[in-house]
Amino acid sequence: MGYYDQPSATDLIVTFVCHNEACQHENVETDAQALDNVIWATCEKCGEQSDWDVPEYEHCYCGDYCRC
């Protein structure tokens, strides 16, 4: 059995409201990326990038010795 190497980034689909106060567009099911416990997504309307700190985010949910 080998060890699981956590990926440096994970692709996600998120729903969010654009952080740009002038835009405030609601993005529904938009592609995003998680990197180093931060989720990054780009607003589909104005192109502004939004980010969120997610310290509890883990790439692997099946323990230290994963077989995902």
Whether 43 is in a domain gets the answer: yes
Rounded average pLDDT over 11-39: 90
Between 52 and 9, the higher pLDDT residue: 52
The pLDDT of residue 43 is above 60: yes
Q: Which of 23, 19, 65 is nearest to 32 (CA)?
A: 19
The answer to the question of residue 32 being in a domain is yes
Residue 61 lies in a domain: no
How many C-alpha atoms does 7 have within 13 Å on its Cβ side?
11
Let me know how long the chain is. Answer: 68
Domain that holds residue 39: 9-53
